[in-house]
């Protein structure tokens, strides 16, 4: 009845245990963070209020988790049903990525025991971009859970509930497209209020939401291509390349639009000179642009689009491009003023690594025990 199957392989393997060790190390540092305070494990300071945890776990992590979002747009909005086989793994990765973002937000929240204030209408500040991000990410995690519920119901054979859920699922799918559009664009808008601290090459003011949502899309597609090609290599399953090459075309268009706005803004605002300043900002901008341009150029040729190696490389390039765009804007070229510097501490890095390890462990467990991956036969 469903074309999805669990992999039914052993869960506790050597890599799984190594990931577990990483997670335990993270747990230790998290203990220190909650008992003694953030200052004992992070290098955050008066100028750099946000470090690796916010910028990787939330800003970059949720964008990496946009696979489910990007694919939902293709499958359900543009009505390209042939991509459906990719949907479940993409949804799972999104759920875990956003879960990690939510967890990261909680860990980084200085007064976490009052987090519920953000849900109390009399506390809400509707001028604050952060309010939109917080509520919208929380709502999206719920929506992802609902979208993924059929998988669990299928496993436990609860057809009655599953049929009921299927009847209303279209509404949650629609929400699952709207919500990421909202908060991914807002993640960009957050940069506006940071004003002069954001490097002029990344401070695009009115364009922030658009650039953020476009890069979230490219990263979402890249993740889908990346995961599908990798799982066919890693689990020795049949290649999904014919499906993926179609996505390649969409990617070319997206990056073209993005670059048009990105460079258009630089030219119109007279910031072209900054590109050749030879400082960190100009270097990073050029690197970031190269990482966007490479996949666009490669995927323009139909030949390359059906070559799984080139597809994989393009996906990797795009993942780095989108991540670097965020990293640059929020951290690397972010300059709060004289006297402040930041580089993540070892514990900060270990916590982030440990959380990613947890994410991978859960992913492995779920695909081995739940009907997530598409069966051998093509639909």
**Ranges within 138-177 binding other proteins (CB under 8 A):** 169-171, 173-175, 177
- How many C-beta atoms surround the C-beta of residue 309 within 10 A? 10
Candidates 131-139, 264-272, 289-297, 320-328 — which segment interacts with other proteins by CB under 8 A? 131-139
Q: Of 19 and 73, which CB lies nearer to other proteins in the complex structure?
A: 73
Rule CB under 8 A: which of 277-316 touch other proteins? none
- CA-to-CA distance for 90 and 232, rounded, in angstroms? 14
Which parts of 51-110 interact with other proteins (CB under 8 A)? 75-79, 81, 84, 105, 108-110
> Residue 8 CB, nearest distance to other proteins (Å)?
21
Q: Is residue 323 close enough to count as binding other proteins by CB under 8 A?
A: no
CB nearer to other proteins: give 158 or 181. Answer: 181
Q: Which of 55, 60, 90, 190 is the binder for other proteins (CB under 8 A)?
A: 190
Which pair of structure tokens corresponds to residue 220? Answer: 């979402």
Q: How many residues bind other proteins (CB under 8 A)?
A: 77
- 245 counts as binding other proteins under rule CB under 8 A: no
Which of 24, 31, 40, 263 contacts other proteins by CB under 8 A?
40
Find the binder of other proteins among 114, 239, 301, 341 (CB under 8 A).
114
CB of 340 to other proteins, least distance (A): 7
Calpha distance 220→181 (Å, rounded): 12
For residues 58 and 356, which CB has a smaller minimum distance to other proteins in the complex? Answer: 58
Query: Residue 304 Cβ, how far from other proteins at the closest point, in Å?
Result: 27
CB burial of residue 248 (10 Å; 0-12, 13-18, 19+): buried
Q: Per CB under 8 A, which of residues 210..229 are in contact with other proteins?
A: 210
How far apart (Å, rounded) are the C-alpha atoms in residues 309 and 210? Answer: 31
Residue 334: Cβ-neighbour burial (10 angstroms; 0-12, 13-18, 19+): buried
Nearer to other proteins, 13 or 36 (CB): 36
Q: Within 325-364, which residues bind other proteins (CB under 8 A)?
A: 336-340
Q: How far is CA 300 from CA 154, 294, 306, in A?
A: 40, 10, 11
Bridge partner list, 373: 5
CB of 201 to other proteins, least distance (A): 15
Considering only 20, 47, 246, 375, the residue that binds other proteins (CB under 8 A) is: 47
Query: Which of 182, 187, 180 lies closest to 50, judged by CA?
Result: 187
Residue from 8, 46, 236, 376 touching other proteins (CB under 8 A): that is 46
* Triad 253, 255, 256: Cα angle to 5°: 65
By CB under 8 A, is residue 50 in contact with other proteins? yes
């Amino acid at each position: 009845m469903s074309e999805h199957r669990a992999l039914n392989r052993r869960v506790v393997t050597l890599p799984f245990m190594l990931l577990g060790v990483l997670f335990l190390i993270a747990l230790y540092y998290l203990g220190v963070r909650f008992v003694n305070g953030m200052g004992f494990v992070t290098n955050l300071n008066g100028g750099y209020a946000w470090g690796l945890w916010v910028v990787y776990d939330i800003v970059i992590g949720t964008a990496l988790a946009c696979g489910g979002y990007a694919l939902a747009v293709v499958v359900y909005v543009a009505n390209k049903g042939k991509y459906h086989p990719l949907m479940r793994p993409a949804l799972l990765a999104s759920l875990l990525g956003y879960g990690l973002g939510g967890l990261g937000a909680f860990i980084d929240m200085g007064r976490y025991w009052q987090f519920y204030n953000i849900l109390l209408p009399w506390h809400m500040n509707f001028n604050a971009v952060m309010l939109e991000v917080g509520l919208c990410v929380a709502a999206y995690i719920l929506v992802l859970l609902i979208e993924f519920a059929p998988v669990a119901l299928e496993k436990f054979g609860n057809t009655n509930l599953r049929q009921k859920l299927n009847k209303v699922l279209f509404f949650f799918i629609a929400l699952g497209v709207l919500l990421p559009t909202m908060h991914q664009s807002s993640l960009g808008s957050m940069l506006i209020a940071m004003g002069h601290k954001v490097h002029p090459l990344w401070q695009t003011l009115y364009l922030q939401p658009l650039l953020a949502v476009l890069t979230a899309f490219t990263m979402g597609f890249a993740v889908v291509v990346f995961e599908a090609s990798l799982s066919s290599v890693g689990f020795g399953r049949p290649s999904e390349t014919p499906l993926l090459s179609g996505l390649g075309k969409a990617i070319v268009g997206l990056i073209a639009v993005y670059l048009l706005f990105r460079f258009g803004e630089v030219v119109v605002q007279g910031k072209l000179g900054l590109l050749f300043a030879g400082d960190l900002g100009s270097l990073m901008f050029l690197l970031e642009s190269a990482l966007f341009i490479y996949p666009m150029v490669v995927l323009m040729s139909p030949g390359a689009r059906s070559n799984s190696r080139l597809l994989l490389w393009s996906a990797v390039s795009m993942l780095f491009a989108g991540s670097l765009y965020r990293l640059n804007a929020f951290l690397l070229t972010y300059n709060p003023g004289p006297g402040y510097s930041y580089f993540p501490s070892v514990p900060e890095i270990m916590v982030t690594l440990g959380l990613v390890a947890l994410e991978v462990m859960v992913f492995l467990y779920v695909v081995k025990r739940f009907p997530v991956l598409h069966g051998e036969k093509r639909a």
